[in-house]
Amino acid sequence: MSEAALARNGRDLRDTALGDAELDARLSRTWGTTASLIGRLSTVDHKIVGRRYLLTALAFLLLGGALAAVMRMQLARPESQLVGPDLYNQLFTMHGTTMMFLFGVPVAEAFAVYLVPLMVGTRNIAFPRLNAFSYWMYLFGGIFLWSAFALNIGPDVGWFAYVPLAGPQYGIGKRPDVWAQMITFTEVSGMAVAIEIIVTAFKQRAPGMTLDRIPLFVWAMIVTSFCIVFAMPAVMLSSTSLILDRLVGTHFYNAAEGGDALLYQHLFWFFGHPEVYIIFLPATGMVSTIVVTFARRPAFGYLPLVLSLIAVGFLSFGLWVHHMFATGLPQLGASFFTANSMLIAIPNGVQIFCWIATLWSGRPLFRTPLFFVLGFFFIFVIGGLSGIMLASVPIDLQVHDTYFVVAHFHYVLIGGAVFPLLAATYYWFPKFSGRMMSERLGRWHFWLAFVGFNLAFFPMHILGLQGMPRRVYTYQPEMGWGSLNLLATVGAVILALSFALFVWNVVSGARHGDVAGDNPWDAGTLEWATTSPPPPQNFSRIPLVTSREPLWAERQALPVIGGLAVDDRQLVVTTVTEARADIRESSPEPSIWPLLAAIAVSVLFVGSIFTPWAVVWGSIPVAIALVGWFWPKGSKEDEE
Amino acid sequence: MKARTALLLSVLALALAGCRGWQSALDPQGPQARELAWLFWMFTAVLTAIFVAVMIALVVALMRRGPPRADPLAVDPAGERRTNFVVAGLAAATGVTVLVLTGFSFVSQRNLFRVEEEAVTIRITGNQWWWDIRYEDADASRSFTTANEIHIPTGRPVKVKLVSADVIHSFWVPSLMGKQDLIPGQENDIRLVADRPGTYRGQCAEFCGLQHAHMGILVVAEDEAAFDRWRDAQIRSADPPDNPDRQKGLQAFLSRPCVMCHSVRGTPAGGRVAPDLTHVGSRRYLAAGTLPLSRGNLAAWIVDPHGIKPGVNMPTMKLDPDDIDFIAAYLEGLK
């Protein structure tokens, strides 16, 4: 018998012993997800989990958008009777909470869960079972919040739930508890994904992908993940102590008993400001990727772009007080935060300059993804510049908590994050589905979204200056805000139409779109080196990276490395800085326990808003689920 | 492109039409608001210029049609070096710009919060959803309480102390000054100055619950003499009713739960959890800027406060229709 045949029958079959076709087939079997119900619920494939994340986040975007549409209808004319104050307060709280916690952060993580392993050339995300668990937690948290809303106990205290309004005395019923506990759900899930991304990007990169060859989107996700790791504990602290105040009678925020209402604001915004960048930084990574592909040249200023990301990540932790300029803080302290808030304009400016420079010396190819990126430039620059106004203490004292701020953060969040996300969807859709979205519908979508957005949100700047505070369910005719509000509502309707078109484009693209092929845009990064959609193992042979844009540098054939086992879920672990192949490591098999653990934890979380004892008895099923999860099952991953 | 320009112009036209108003940051009526408006327009000018420059650079970058790039990796090293200098220069310019803007902002902030000897001290307590107003005076007999409407002398700094009785509110009269929060457990203060007589509206700017939208406050600036007259009138207790209807109104008012919450100085009504009504008839608005004050609106408010301001703390009471008329007549006469 030949050596190859021997190896084929032996226990340790390596990829070097097999031809391409057989290797593909065997690896698909090793890495695949079985089609049974249990198989689907047990999957740990980052692409399947990522796809679920994406679709769920998209569903929450549409739900959150529907709430916004109702609010715009209510505000279209003065003293409208469409919805009353009680429902309106739930509407804007649900809108903000859904968009920030169930759409903004998760959607970026969804893209990362799907794309980061592909972009760094590995076969699965690090800690894939934790990844499955994080998705279930996110889904259950979202269902919990929306069920509460359907039962008319949706939170009504605003998406930052200031005390004492959300405290035990004024926050009636279970509404603020629902909000605070939903935070716990999404933070657990966000934190888990952040850790997976960091480890995947640092330890699982394909050999040769040194730190300075990491794709810019992956860099953006690394910085974002670190922001999540440092910011989210603050909000967990604030929401947990809020629950304690409400449920077991502590006095963290009760001024009458020596607590402090402002402490809550400090804790919340210490998370809340980085949160904005947690949503925005992944979008910059998407913009970098798309600009490079459609300018058809490498990014101008790779190093400044990466350093800017890191600088923004750091500075984002020193800005939180600019949400609190009107709370009577010492003037000198406030000035420090003015300076810091303005400072962040520098790294953000550098990114914009580098992108324009890339387009300048490239030859731009005008496709839908690039259109959305250009829309991003227009809208985000306006939002960034109005952010400089908000950084100034005096100007902020006029516009804080008015529609000017509403306009500003929608320019930043929709312009800075949603437009890039739409660009990214058009760009990576072929990889996700194997088919292209319609270019013609894409153009219509873009122009409707662009015009609708600006029509809806630009007038709000003026409304704010004319004295319209945010979070009012109505206004009197003599205030003179009627016509601009009507204009904003017209814009919102156009924006909503554009999203209907988008959903249609996604659905029809997935069914009848043109077949995409591996690399429809002729892009340079590794996710385009495999089939569309990728096979369960992502890459049958692990690429060896020699350049920042491996597919541009190696036009003939991508160099690969060999030696991984075929019948076992093996992947290559590399060194952090130079990405030298270090060890072979078995990646976990599918397991139903993450789902069971998520159910157990959800029961504990939901129960604990009704009685503190739920934490005690709820921990028993959690313990059982974790024991089941980690019980040695004699698989490869346990032996090593 | 033409259509968009037209659109932009129409938006601007709408905007400018709305610049003047009794609750507008763009219609400053005092030195602080003027300082703020100046700073706002200065920032707007600088930032708009930056925006236009960035957009021009972007458009030029897109219009340049270089040769097709068969090999995307082929870049011109000399060109890259030149671009490096340009980008570094622009980054430095950004730094200088934000530094200068920070400087302007800092100077404005100092001007805004400069402490000057105040002519009048007012203590405002935020309540869901109305403003309790106390004019403080070293002479205790010249202190008095009112609600939802403050009068100030023109040209003189007025010190406003801000506290809250329940949740966080924010005091904001845009044509005079930026906002400041009212926070339980602490006292903030700001100063107001109005240039000329006029009526300026303000509104709670921090979300405070169901009726956050209906928590208005009125600032009436008047010359020193008129202000003194007003103050002297407010210090006095309520005059006794001057006709039989109002007499019946007073009787009805005192025999109903009204007195549990409201005060009318000079009568046994001494409740302290709702607006002081001693001179309610002299105010321009009812229910924190919700309804213009009139006998009809007073009656409507007493009959159905929850229809007008859903969720308000004033309970709906079963009253005889005649009694409602009499009470409204009595209250309207409390000038």
In this prediction, residue A639 carries a pLDDT of 63
Whether A147 contacts chain B with CB within 8 A: no
**How high is the mean pLDDT of chain A?**
94
A:534-553 residues touching chain B, CB 8 A cutoff: 547, 549, 552-553
Cα separation, A67 vs B278, in Å, equals: 44
The set of residues, in sequence order, having a beta carbon less than 8 Å from that of B236 and lying 6+ positions away, is none
Q: For residue B44, give how far its alpha carbon lies from the nearest alpha carbon of chain A (Å).
A: 8
Q: 3-class SS at A314?
A: helix
Name which of A298, A327, A343 is nearest B98 (Cβ-Cβ). Answer: A343
3-state secondary structure A224-258: HHHHHHHHHHHHHHHHHHHHHHHHCCCCCCCHHHC
Contact residues, chain B, for A255 at CB < 8 Å: 184-186
Tokens 């910059």 belong to: A284
Q: Which residues of B touch A401 (CB under 8 A)?
A: 170, 179, 205-207
A590: its two tokens? 């599918």
**pLDDT tens readout for residues A571-589:** 999 999 999 999 999 999 9
First to last CA, chain B: 59
What average pLDDT does range A135-151 have in this prediction? 97
pLDDT grade, residue B3 (50/70/90)? Answer: low
Q: Which of B48, B65, B181 lies nearest to residue A326, judging by beta carbons?
A: B181
Name residues whose C-beta falls within 8 Å of residue B203's C-beta, 6 or more positions apart in sequence.
A467, A469, B23, B172, B215, B216, B217, B289
Distance from CA of A231 to the nearest CA of B (A): 25
Q: Tell me how close the Cα of A292 comes to any Cα of chain B, in angstroms.
A: 9
**A556-565: average pLDDT:** 91
| pLDDT bracket for residue A492 (50, 70, 90) | very high
Nearest-CA distance from A242 to chain B in Å? Answer: 15
Are residues B181 and A327, on separate chains, in Cβ contact within 8 Å?
yes
The answer to whether B201 contacts chain A (CB < 8 Å) is: yes
Cβ <8 Å between B50 and A469: no
pLDDT at B1: 43
Is the whole model's pTM more than 0.90, yes or no?
A: yes
pLDDT band at B21 (very low <50, low <70, confident <90, very high): confident
Subunit contact B75:A401, Cβ cutoff 8 A:
no
pLDDT digits (tens, 9 = 90+) for A395-448: 999 999 999 999 999 999 999 999 999 999 999 999 999 999 999 999 999 999
% of chain B exceeding 70 in pLDDT:
94
Pick among A359, A472, A522 to test the B interface (most B CBs inside 10 A): A472
* pLDDT reported for residue B6: 55
Q: Which two tokens stand for residue A168?
A: 């035990």
DSSP code string of B194-228: -SSSEEEEEE--S--STTGGG-EEEEEEE-HHHHH
Asked if A394 reaches chain B (Cβ–Cβ under 8 Å), the answer is yes
Quick check: B116 pLDDT over 90? Answer: no
Q: How does DSSP classify residue B289?
A: T
How far apart are alpha carbons A482 and A430 in whole angstroms?
A: 44
Return residues 14-73 of B near A (CB < 8 Å).
Answer: 14-15, 18-19, 21, 23-26, 35-36, 39-40, 43-44, 47-48, 50-51, 54-55, 57-58, 60-62, 64-69, 71-73
Bigger pLDDT: A46 vs B74: A46
pLDDT band at residue A1 under the 50/70/90 scheme:
very low
For residue B18, name the pLDDT band (cuts at 50, 70, 90). Answer: very low
Contact criterion met (CB < 8 Å) for A395 and B105: yes
User: In sequence order, which residues have a C-beta less than 8 Å from that of residue A323 and are 6 or more positions away?
Assistant: A265, A269, A272, A273
Which chain A residues are within 8 Å of B60, Cβ to Cβ? 360
Residue A231 pLDDT grade (very low, low, confident, very high; cuts 50, 70, 90):
very high
What pLDDT score was predicted for residue A12? 74
Q: Which residues of A touch B286 (CB under 8 A)?
A: none
A462/B57 touch (CB, cutoff 8 Å), yes or no: no
| Minimal C-alpha gap between A404 and chain B (Å) | 11
What pLDDT was estimated at residue B188?
96
Tokens at residue A380, please? Answer: 């985000």
Which residues of chain A from 49 to 88 reach within 8 Å of chain B, CB to CB?
84-86
Domains, chain B: 23-50+85-224 (2.60.40.420), 244-332 (2.60.40.420)
B65 band by pLDDT with thresholds 50, 70 and 90: confident
Asked if residue A294 has pLDDT above 50, the reply is yes
**Which of A301, A326, A481 is closest, CB to CB, to B170?**
A326
Q: What is the pLDDT of residue A146?
A: 97
Amino acid code (one letter) for B280: V
Which strands sit side by side in the sheet containing B130-136, from one edge to the other?
B144-147, B130-136, B120-127, B158-164, B188-192
Residues 6+ away with beta carbon under 8 Å from B205: A326, A400, A401, A402, A469, B170, B171, B172, B179
Q: How confident is the model at residue A482 (pLDDT cuts 50, 70, 90)?
A: very high
Measured from the Cβ of residue A501, the count of other Cβ atoms closer than 10 Å reads 17
With cut-offs at 50, 70 and 90, classify the pLDDT of residue A634: confident
H-run or E-run covering B17? helix B2-17
How far the first Cα of chain A sits from its last, in Å, is 30
Question: Are A260 and B67 an interchain contact pair (Cβ–Cβ within 8 Å)?
Answer: no
pLDDT score for B317: 87
* B182, closest residue in chain A (CA to CA): A327
Q: In this structure, are residues A111 and A123 in contact, taking their beta carbons and an 8 Å threshold? A: no
pLDDT bucket at A333, cuts 50 / 70 / 90 = confident
- Could you tell me if A457 and A75 are in contact, meaning their C-beta atoms sit under 8 angstroms apart? no
Instruction: Answer whether B148's CB lies under 8 Å from B218's CB.
Output: yes
Q: How far apart are CA B61 and CA B156, in angstroms?
A: 55
What is the mean pLDDT of the segment spanning A296-301?
Answer: 95
pLDDT(A545) > 60? yes
The answer to whether A73 touches A489, Cβ cutoff 8 Å, is yes
pLDDT of residue A97: 97
Does A59 score more than 50 pLDDT?
yes
Handedness of CA A65, A67, A68, A73 (dihedral sign): positive
* Of A158, A334, A385, Cβ closest to residue B50: A385
- Percentage above 70 pLDDT, chain A: 97
Q: Does B95 touch chain A (CB under 8 A)?
A: yes
Query: Please, which residues bridge with residue B133 across strands?
Result: B124, B146
Angle, to 10 degrees, between the axis of helix A419-433 and the axis of helix A105-120? 50
Alpha carbon of A359: minimum distance to chain B alpha carbons (Å): 6
Name the minimum distance, in Å, from the CA of B134 to any CA of chain A. 20
Tell me whether residues B91 and A350 touch, CB distance under 8 A: yes
Say if A367 is an interface residue toward chain B (CB within 8 Å). Answer: no
Query: Which pLDDT value is given to residue B205?
Result: 97
Substitution target from A398, A450, A453 for chain B, most B beta carbons within 10 A:
A398
A 415-454 residues with CB < 8 A to B: 451
Cβ neighbors of A628 (< 8 A, separation 6 or more) are A593, A596, A597
Tens of pLDDT along A164-203?
999 999 998 999 999 999 999 999 999 999 999 999 999 9
B206 interface with A at CB cutoff 8 Å = yes
Residues 263-322 of A with CB under 8 A from B: 296-298, 300-301, 304
> Cβ separation of A359 and B58 shorter than 8 Å?
yes
Q: What is the pLDDT of residue B7?
A: 53
pLDDT above 70 (res B2): no
Q: Give per-residue pLDDT as tens, A304-329.
A: 999 999 999 999 999 999 999 999 99
Determine, for residues A466 and B18 on separate chains, whether the beta-carbon distance falls below 8 Å: yes
pLDDT of B273-323, one tens digit each? 999 999 999 999 999 999 999 999 999 999 999 999 999 999 998 889 999
pLDDT of A217 reads 98
Residues A58-73, mean pLDDT to the nearest whole number: 97
- Is some CB atom of chain A closer than 8 A to the CB atom of B123? no
